[in-house]
């Protein structure tokens, strides 16, 4: 089993969303889209607080992508280097 490496950029990006309380969109491989705030993450799952305040645990292997909602990327935006 792979260890959970908090030094990876993906971990830091998600931690930034948690710290800033950023609303995110999580698209699943099933094409379902979830909206809410990420509460925590571990090596297998992410916990999302949905818009109605209910916590939802999502398995990482089911996620296609995670992106900030409403185009508000805050200080954690990914930047393109040319």
pLDDT digit string, tens, across residues 4-63: 777 888 889 999 999 999 999 999 999 999 999 999 999 999 999 998 889 999 999 999
- Domain edges within the chain: 25-70
Tokens of 50: 């949905």
Give the residue, 38 or 2, on which the prediction is more confident: 38
pTM beyond 0.75, yes or no: yes
- Which pLDDT belongs to residue 5? 77
Give the separation between CA 82 and CA 74, rounded to whole angstroms: 21
Rounded CA-CA distance 30/59 in Å is 12
Q: Does the domain made of 25-70 have the CATH classification 2.30.30.100?
A: yes
């Amino acid at each position: 089993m792979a260890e959970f490496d908090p030094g990876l950029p993906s971990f830091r990006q998600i931690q930034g969303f948690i710290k800033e309380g950023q609303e995110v969109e999580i698209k699943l491989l099933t094409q379902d889209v979830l909206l809410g705030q990420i509460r925590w993450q571990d090596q297998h799952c992410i916990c999302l607080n949905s818009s109605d305040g209910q916590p939802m645990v999502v398995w990482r292997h089911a996620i296609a992508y995670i992106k900030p909602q409403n185009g508000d990327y805050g200080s954690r935006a990914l930047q393109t280097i040319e």
